[in-house]
A and B are shown apart, each in its own frame.
Chain A
């Protein structure tokens, strides 16, 4: 409910800095929820978060089990070869049952929903990547300062 005509529209900036399968979803889900509710949303993918929009990696993100006290299996076993892949496959199946889209489809859905996706210039340089290595839904590559300017008045979530 607005009490004056000058009130600015709500807007959300999500910074995704993690590239594991389990840490990719929260940012995507929050940005999508914002768009469904009529809130402007933009996402900034930086450091490992770039993997979420990296053409070569987007379909192959893995759960993070080692060093994760919430992991459903003991750390000693979680570190064995293939265990993370197995657990990720299992989680993918469970998500499919709940009709949660895979990450590539989710990124497309966000783009369709009018959210703006950006890659971090410094992270791209660091990983020797260019914009062409990212999925086409990524609108532009920005510096952190560009993203800050864009986020004026927005609520910011760092993941």
Chain B
């Protein structure tokens, strides 16, 4: 907290020149880049090693081609870098649009304390997991082609997804930007950016609806390759609905961890409301889970899926559906009834595993299930995935430790008192002491 005192707000001697502000800001940011706290923690050492090895593998991948690192083949063009990093990672980032909808559109005050951290999480998920797409692209320097090129593949679902990834990242950055402005002590800019929030949220929800379902729609083009238990015309709908409970579970899991790890960064409001927030989120997840089960049932009847159940793939399908969709629904309901936060947290974890299973099933496991030689990820693909997750965690921690993600920044509150009620300010100040 000590760093906030010598902030670059040189307001004492009248209006500072632009260059002065710029210089102070850069100096401030450079100072902020210095690590805080102990360097040699077990977490740092392990994730640091993973990141270093991951970077080496990424260099090898770009020097020698995808076959040097991945197990991809002519039969399996997409592996876990797409199936897990992108398809699953983006589903888990769904919490941001769900929570911004609750807080900014429905004005549910209860969830306000966690909306910033969720948007941050979503934004970083897009930067890192959708960014991991670049590793998988054979010619990543052409990634701008569908954006600025003269070759718009308008009939392609992937074209839509690519555009939406880019636009949604901008939306999420806008949604998070007031926090950045507070960190930099720019109250004027903060006010401008905050004025953009509702617009960014509305656009962001629209984009999320379309690209969460779009990720599923990608697989509509492979009817003869995806096992009938997973191929359905409803894949887009199911991907969208499951991104709601995937996002919510991730918010619950994330808050379980941040609540412990970043204890001293968490504002009063979040401390008090934490349990009620998690129970409320569980209710939201149950709603989405029920909708999901309902669509699955429609498919079960429409595609006569019972004819497929008595087979290894059928048992696998049942495990995914019963063990990681139906069971979590029941557990969430029990947890809500007993008001057990612990059970909510456990169930969120279970739900998240189910979402991973589902996304991997559609994109990798049930894809060409009939081939004699199947794809499985190489250790290097897994290692690079872990490196990307580690990098995301590092950046996440860096931001949490510096920016007022959990509750508004005390300094920002002082300069802009009209934005919060006085009572709140007193409470925040008290929580700092």
A binds B: no
